[in-house]
Amino acid sequence: MSQQAVTPQSENFSEWYNDVVYKADLVSPSPVRGCLIIKPYGYEIWEGIRAGLDKRFKATGHQNAYFPLFIPESYLKREAEHVEGFSPELAVVTIAGGEVLQEPLVVRPTSETIIGEAFSQWIQSYRDLPLLINQWANVVRWEKRTRPFLRTSEFLWQEGHTAHATEAEAEAETLQMLDVYTDFAVNEAAIPVVKGQKSEIEKFAGALRTYTIEAMMGDKKALQSGTSHNLGQNFAKAFAIKYLSRENVEEFCWTTSWGLSTRMVGAIIMTHGDDKGLRLPPRLAPIQVVAIPIYKNDAERTPVLETVNRLVAELRGAGMRVHIDDREETPGFKFNDWEMRGVPVRLEVGPKDVQNNKAVLARRDMGKEGKQFISQDGILAQVTDLLNAIHDNMLAQATAFRKANTHDLTTYDDFKSLAEKGGWARVWWAGSNDDERKIKEETGATLRCFPLEQPEGSGTCFYTGQLANRVAIFSKAY
């Protein structure tokens, strides 16, 4: 792996990001424009995300299923707002098996339509509700400007789809899954997020309401990291998703959908990374501990490796993800290499450590002060505590960074100045959809969300000067 340094974040954050995803061996270019090969190390991060979410989905009663990649074009046209929202991004198959298809097939951009058709067949009465389904899949949205993990023509995600008897139940589901995403982001990815509702302009095409978790990246931009949509009865009416109520009356269902994608890998990189490369949160890191034996000759090699193997076996026995780096490279090369790849803990053992029953633990989330000498006895408890401390510290660092770069503003001039410098603006908002569009045109900042936690009372809209009863967050975003 290359030992070349990455572009400093302060010099060019975008170049830093691209340097890291390639030098940390997360991705490789593909022959198809807008698509990338996710290499094993990058895919293992996604597997950790998937495992963490999947157990949460199943704990809340959802089941996994799989639906076709190809969707009849007519399905998308049944919900007018939905197809209008996705039309520019669609990839369409018109020829298959050497013949022109009677009806074009759309390559899945999202699955509301084909799942809606299935739900209409599966649901007959109130006894079939709620129907709680999740799908792990790939989707295609033909992007013109792409960036690894954040925006690619094909990406991986999960999409939940549920049907309910009442609007209240659908709303409860929508907010429950937003809480699930928040719990995952905070407790697995060490990313603090703001839960909020999207504006009418920014909501999902065809939804009644869209909720989001927004995270601040290292360049102070926002990243929409997961969304949950109350679809109302729009898709139920388009696909005849009906049920017979207890009163023997035919009713339309209320449906939801919610999704989180490989964008979360990008969020982890940009929230935690530094000028040495990745810093991976311990609970999602493919390798939690890298063990580096240090010796100068064969006489030292044998006892050092025996000690390393013994300590690693103890850690692995408890389910810890540990790798032994026994390559014939210098310790300095290995240190830099694993720092680039963001491994949370480095375990070093040399000849003196063997003699003294000691070892060295180095934390990736800290500098030189993160290096400590420990006894080999009780190493499992010590490393376990250290991994938890690293998670807590990374979450605290990211939270402090977001707090320092979120500003309460009262004037549009101050807003424009902040949009230039970078950061989040927290403002009272009573503007129209057109006002929102004008702000985006003039500053590049968008209304990220109306936080679910709102201050009491009212204020003056920073843009219109009118009385406002809710606060919004604006920011430039990915």
d(CA 95, CA 99): 5
Q: Which two tokens stand for residue 407?
A: 């500003």
> Phi and psi of 228, rounded to 5°?
-135, 125
Residue 4, pLDDT score: 64
CB distance 109 to 140 below 8 Å: yes
Sign of CA dihedral 151, 337, 362, 306: positive
What's the maximum distance between 2 C-alpha atoms anywhere in the chain? 84
Query: Nearest Cα to 9, choosing from 1, 24, 21, 19?
Result: 19
Question: How, if at all, do strands 322-324 and 289-293 pair?
Answer: parallel
At 312, give phi and psi (nearest 5°). Answer: -65, -40
Q: What is the pLDDT along the chain (478 residues), one digit of tens a residue?
A: 445 689 999 999 999 999 999 999 999 999 998 899 999 999 999 999 999 999 999 999 999 999 999 999 999 888 777 667 677 889 999 999 999 999 999 999 999 999 999 999 999 999 999 999 999 999 999 887 889 999 999 999 999 999 999 999 999 999 999 999 999 999 999 999 999 999 999 999 889 999 999 999 999 999 999 999 999 999 999 999 999 999 999 999 999 999 999 999 999 999 999 999 999 999 999 999 999 999 999 999 999 999 999 999 999 999 999 999 999 999 999 999 999 999 999 999 999 999 999 999 999 999 888 899 999 999 999 999 999 999 999 999 999 999 999 999 999 999 999 999 999 999 999 999 999 999 999 999 999 999 999 999 999 999 999 999 999 999 999 9
For residue 391, report the phi and psi dihedrals to the nearest 5 degrees: -55, -50
Secondary structure tally for the chain: helices H, strands E: 14, 25
Q: How far is residue 2's CA from residue 9's CA, in Å, rounded to a whole number?
A: 19
Are 374 and 381 in contact, with CB atoms under 8 Å apart? Answer: no
Which value, in Å, is the radius of gyration of the alpha carbons in the chain?
25
b/e sequence 109-132, b meaning 16+ C-beta within 10 Å: bbbbbbbbbbbbeebeeeeebbbb
154: enclosing H helix or E strand:
strand 154-164
pLDDT of residue 44: 98
Residue 476 confidence (pLDDT): 98
User: Do 468 and 461 contact (CB within 8 A), yes or no?
Assistant: yes
pTM, two decimal places: 0.95
All domains of the chain in start order, with CATH: 13-272 (3.30.930.10), 289-387 (3.40.50.800), 406-475 (3.30.110.30)
Side-chain-facing half-sphere of 455: CA atoms under 13 Å: 14
pLDDT at position 367: 81
pLDDT attached to residue 78: 84
CA atoms within 13 A on the CB side of 366: 18
Alpha carbon 180 to its chain centroid, in Å, reads: 13
Which ranges of 233-285 does DSSP label H, i.e. alpha helix? 234-238, 263-272
pLDDT of residue 79: 75
Classified as helix, coil or strand, 223 is strand
Report which of 430, 423, 420, 397 is spatially closest to residue 408, judged by C-alpha positions: 423
Contacts of 423 (CB under 8 A, 6+ apart): 220, 405, 406, 407, 475
Q: Around 424, how many Cα atoms within 13 Å sit in the side-chain half-sphere?
A: 26
Rounded Cα gap, residues 121 and 241, in angstroms: 8
